[in-house]
Structure 1
Amino acid sequence: AGFLVNVSSSEANDGYVAHFMPPIGSFLYRARLFMMDDGAGNLKFGISKGSSSIVSWVATDFVYSQTYLIVIKYEYVGDATGDDDIVKLFVNPTINWPEPLNGDAENTDVADDIEIENFAVRQGGEAHIYQFDGLIIGTSWSDLVPVELVSFSASVNDNSVTLSWITATELNNSGFEVQRSNEAEVWENIGFVRGNGTTTEINYYSFTDENLLEGSYAYRLKQVDLDGTYEYSNIVNVDIITPIEFELSQNYPNPFNPSTTIKFSIPEGSQVNLKIYNSLGQEIKTLVNRFMETGVHTVNFNAVGLNSGMYFYRLDAGEFTQVRKMTLIK
C-alpha cells in the first residue's frame, strides 16, 4: 500500500494509524503503521507486525506539516511455519525499478500470517491530526505512481497550441518537459514547466506553443522526478490549418484600456506592416514591419500614454490593405 500523508500534530503515546487485515470480523491486524512524536518535537514513523509485536522505528527524524510518501509492504514468506511473514515500511522511497531490497524499518516478529483482503485507516490518538491522500493498493512495486496526472489536453487557437494538464498528487516532481513531434517517433523538447515537488493539492499547468506552420502535431509530457527518473504521458494530436485569405480582425477587447490584441491572417508569406493612427490620420506607432510566414498572427497594442478616443489600425501585407477602428477609454 502506498499513500501520501501530512502530519500536523501527534503525541508520544499515540497509537497506530493504518494496517492490513483479513476479512471483516477478524482482528488480526498486520503491518501496523505508527506516526508519533519522539518527545523532542520530531515526527517518527514505525511499523509492527501484530498487536503484541515491538515497533520497529525508522532511524531518521522527520518534521511536521510536510508531505511524505509512505509505502507499507506485507511480504509472504511462503513456508510451513505460518508465522514468519515480514512487514516493511518505506518513507519517501524512489519509485522505480529495482524495488529496494530493505525497508527503512522492518519487522520480522513471530505472529500469525494472514491472507490480506482489506486495508484500514484510523485515528491513532486525540492529538493526531493528519491528511491522508492518494492511496494505492497493489501487488507490485511498479503499481506505485509518483505523479497522478488527471488530464492532459490540447486546444488550437489560430496557429498556436495551448497544452493544459492537471495533477491530483505529486511526489518529488521536478517538472514536465514538453515534447512535440510532427514526424512519427521524432520528438523534440520545446519547453519545461516546473513542478510542485511533493503535494496532495490539485495543480493546474499550461504551456503555449506559438507560431506554428500548417500541419499535424503530436504532444506529450515527460514528467521528471528530482532524482532524474521520468515517465511519459499519453499523446495528444492537433492540426494547424493555413488561412485561405488575408484578413484583419477586430481588436479584442474593444473598447479597451490600456491594451488590446490585434489578430490578422495571411495565406502566404508576406512583408507585413501594421500601424496605429489617431483620428487626425497621424501615425502613432508601428507594431509590425517585417516579413512574416503564412498563418494567423496576434500582436498586442499597449496604449499607455495615449489619450482616450478613436484610433485606427492598418494592415499592409503584399497587395492587401485593410483598416479598422478601435476605441480607447480611460
Structure 2
Amino acid sequence: MKKILLILLFFSSMSHTSDRTVVDIINEFELNHESNMSDSIFFSNLSTTNEITISYDTVDFISGNGTMDVTFSIGSADPNTGNWAGLNFTNNDGSRMDFSAAETLSVMLKVETPPNYPQYMSMRFMIIDKPVYYGFNEYWAGEDVLLIDQESDWMEVKIPLKPHRSTSLFPIIGSNINDGFNISPWWWNLQYNNWQLDLDRVGTYAIYVGTNGYGANVSTLPADSVKISLDYMTLKDSSGYEHIYNFNDQLDSVCLAPQEVRQELIETMIADLPEIPYIEIREGIIGDYMGVDSDEENYAMAHFLYFAPSNHDVVAVNGSWNDWNGTLWNMSNIPNTNFWFRPMVMPHTGRFLYTYWADGTYYDDPMNDISCMAWNYGITDQVSGPDYIIPPEWAYNDTIPHGSYFDTTFFSSTMDNSRNVTVYLPPNYEYTNNFYPVVVYQDGNRILPRAPENIFDNLIHDEKINPIIAVFIPPVNRNAEYRSYFQEDYTDFVIDDILGWAMNKYRILDGPENHANIGFSDGGCITIYQGLSRYDFFGKIGAFAPTINIAYNQMVQSLGNSVPELEIYMEGYWLDQTIWQGLAFRDTLISNGFNVTWNDFPDGHELCGAMGNQDLVLEQFFAYEELDVEDPKNPLPLQYTLHSPYPNPFNPVTTLSYDLPEDAMVNITVYNMVGRQVKTLISKQQTAGYKSVQWNATNNTGQPVSAGVYLYTIEAGEFRQTRKVVLLK
C-alpha cells in the first residue's frame, strides 16, 4: 500500500482566473503545490485488495503547473459494505479548515479511464468535520453513481455545502451530489459527534472511488480500476455565514488551553451551567429522525458532561435512543482531565433515559437526579428537551377518589408455571352495580411500578375515559410466551383461565368491543397475536413499539377477506429501530382493511415513553360518555335510595351514591349543622340508574370548609332523604 505525505499549501486569492464566484482556493492539485494527503482504505479488512497510484500532468484545465492523475484500483467487494479507496487531504499542522464562507464545493474532474463494471462503481466526496478539537470526527458523504461511468473531457463537479437528510435505508446511495452531504450511515461503524455539518471546522476532505455492496452479489467481481484527473478545487458562492458562539466553542477553548489549566477551566464552565445534561437552544440544528411527525419538530443540542470517578480508556453514554448499546456512543475525553463529553441532537419535545458505562459497569449521573416517574432501578437518569411536559396524569392527586388493587395467583398446567395477577378496580366500584370494560396489560410486573393507577384515577375523574377494570399479567417465560412456542398456550391461559375467572368475579362487560389488550415491545407482539387469533374476545389492541417480524404479516394475510372488527392503536418512537417494522406492519394492516391509528413520538425504546401516552390509547378505546353500563340482565333500581357516604369520616373527598328507578330532576345539596347551604353538588335532570357524586369539602365558592359534621340531602321527584357525613382535618 502506497502512502504519501506531502505539504499542504492554501491560497486565499486567485490571479489566474476571472471567476468572481470563487471564495477561496482549496487545492490546485499541482506538483509544486502538493497537499498533505494519504491514501485511505475505508474498510480496513479489505485494505489488501486496493491500491492508489498518483502521477502529475504538465497540462491542466486551469492554466498553471499541471494536474493530478489518480488511479483507484478496487478489488473484490464485501456484499454488505462494498469496497472503497480514496485520498484524504488534511492540514499538515492538524489545524481545521473553514468552508463556511461558501455554498458550493467545486472541483474540475476528467475521467481518463472508466471502470470495467460501471454499474457497480461510484464516486464519493467526503467532508470530515470536528466541531471540538478532542471530539470525534464526523463523516459526511456526497455520492454520484454515474459520474465516472464513461470517459469524459474536463467537467466541473459542484456539490452544495449543506447537509442532506434522507429517510432511505441506504441514504448515501439513494442520493446524488446535488443533494449535498449525507451523514455516515450506522453500518459504517463510525462514531458520531453532533449530527451537524460544521463547515467552519473541517478536519479532512476526501475523494473516494469504490464498489457499493448493499446486498448486491459483488463479492466475486474481478479487480477493477478508474483513472481520473483532478484540478482546481475551490469554494464558490458566498454564503454570508456568520459564526454564532455556542457551547462547542467553550469546549474547544478548553481543548486548546494549556494542559495544566484544563481541569480548572472545565469545572468552572460546568458550575455555570443551569442543568446537566446541558440543553443548548440555538438556531439551525437539524434532526435526522424517522417519524411521521418529525419534520415539524424543532431541535436543541443536549450535551452529556461527565466527570469519571476513576481512569478509564473508554466511557460511553447508553440510552433508550441507542437500545442501551453505547458501541457508537463513546464519549470524548479532554487529555489531562477526568472530563468526558458527548453531544446529541435533542427534539424539543423529546425525552430519553440514559446511563454512563465504563469497563463493564453502569454509572448514574451524579449531576442529574431527574428520572422517569418514581422508578429508575438506580441506574437511569432522564434528559428532556426544552418543551417536554411531564404528563399531568402521572401525578398522584389526593383530592380525587382512587381505585384499588387485588392480587391473585394463577397456575398454568400447560406451561407448568404460576404467576401473580393484579386487578385494578375503579373508584367506588364496591358502591355501584355498574359493569365495566376491561383492559389487559402485558408485562404487568414492569408496568405496576410505574403507578398506572394514577393514570386511571385521573382520567376517570377528569371524565376523559369511562371507568375501567385493568388486569396486569406478568410473563414467566417472556420470550416463549410473547414471541415463540408458548404464544398459543399463553393466549388460551390469559383468555380462558385469567379473564374467565375475572369475568365471573368482577362486573366486566361482555363483548370484544369492551375488551382491550395493551403491550409494549415484546408485549406488543403478544397483544397483536392475541388480537389477530382471538378477535372473538379482544376487540381493541394497543401495541407500543412492537418487536414484530414477518410472521405477523403472514397472520394478517391468512385472514383473507375476513377482516375482524378490530380497533388497533400502534405507536412508534423516532430513535427506536422497531419503528421501521412498525410502520411496515401498519401499512400491511391498512392495505388489508384494518382500522389502525398510528402515532410516533420523539422517544427511544423504553417503557416510560409508552406510559406517557396511555391517555391516548385509553381515550381512543374508552372515551368518556354517559353510557348505560349496568348489566343488561339486571333491572334498574326498584326504588329511590341514598346510600351511606364513603369514606365516612373523610378527608378530603367522599363519594355519595344514590339510585334512581326512573328519570328525574335531581338536587343534592350539602348543609352545615345550623341549616345553612354549603354546596350544591347536583342540580340537573338525570336518567334512571345507579349514580354517584363526589364532594371535595369545598363550598359553592370553591373555598375549603372547616372540619365537622355536615348533612347532605337528595331531592328526586317526590323522593327526599338526608344523611350525615363527617369531615376530618
Question: What TM-score does the superposition give when structure 1 sets the normalisation length?
Answer: 0.40
Structure number with the higher helix fraction is 2
Whichever of the two has the greater Rg, that structure is: 2
Structure number with the higher strand fraction is 1
